[in-house]
Structure 1
């Protein structure tokens, strides 16, 4: 248990340090790029599920999603990234920064869903990928519904 707590503290301190080293406008730019890349890969998986299924393409896309989801993107929500900066626009709602415990739960669920998607894709079972894909999309939607402005 002490190891888990120590790892959690280490992860938070690294995330805090990372956000302190990146300008707020760049934090917004980088997190938007990460989400755009994940969305593109979700689209590739959806196309495979709706059409001819290519297990290698699905696995590559699922691995990319899981990698980005587990990359520590929380560090890109540092102070000052709750509003537009210069020409860098953000759609994150202020409530995001006021409900960090809830955001943490949503992020944990998303990371777990993305990891499950990658695992299902590695096994190559289209039905399992379909289920995991739905769960991953649902975990994205959970955050968008609460904390993303239209």
Structure 2
């Protein structure tokens, strides 16, 4: 039974890797923009709750999406050919992004850490703590934008 499960797992992983590699550059740009837009929308929902009536469940749901997206492996969507507009998809990534991979990794890991912490803090229901962590998460996101995103 263990061999069957292992074989299925390997087949699934191989299929996922193949599907990812089969993406055209314009598809990678499209999907990463969609992912970041969805994450931004959920950050906006958290911000609205912090500025208005605080709804713990909405904040938890939004923080879960932010963390899940941050941990989803979106870095794979910055493949070859996605450094410029292609196939009708525009990108705002600076060329430096593809040349400074150590800095990209550092900033990405910092964002993932803060997004995961936001998820944990949101689960407590403590609005004041969420506000502090929301700020840290936003700053880590902004750090990458400042370094690697065109206006």
Aligned position for 1:57: 58
Matches within 5 A, 1:47-126: 47-126=48-127
* TM-score, normalised via structure 1 length: 0.88
Runs of 5+ consecutive residues of structure 2 not aligned to the other structure: 1-13
Runs of 4+, deviation exceeding 6 Å? none
* Partner SS state of residue 79, structure 2: coil
Looking at structure 2, the residues matched to 20 and 41 of structure 1 have their Cα atoms a distance apart, in angstroms, of 28
Shift of 1:21: 2.1
CA distance in 2 between counterparts of 1:16 and 1:142 reads 29
Distance 1:57 1:92, change over 3 A: same
Which residue of structure 2 lines up, in the alignment, with residue 149 of structure 1?
Answer: 150
What TM-score does the superposition give when structure 2 sets the normalisation length?
Answer: 0.87
Report SS of the residue matched to 1:89. Answer: coil
> Is the radius of gyration larger for structure 1 or structure 2?
2
Aligned partner of 2:7 in structure 1 is none
Q: In the alignment, which residue of structure 2 is the partner of 1:133?
A: 134
Aligned length: 138
Give the whole-Å Cα distance in 2 for the aligned partners of 1:72 and 1:88: 20
Structure 2 CA distance, aligned partners of 1:74 and 1:18? Answer: 15
Q: CA RMSD in A?
A: 1.6
- In the superposition, relative to structure 1, how do residues 139 and 145 fare at CA in structure 2: closer, same or farther (>3 Å)? same
CA distance in 1, matches of 2:81, 2:21: 11
Structure 1 unaligned segments of length 5 or more: list them.
1-13
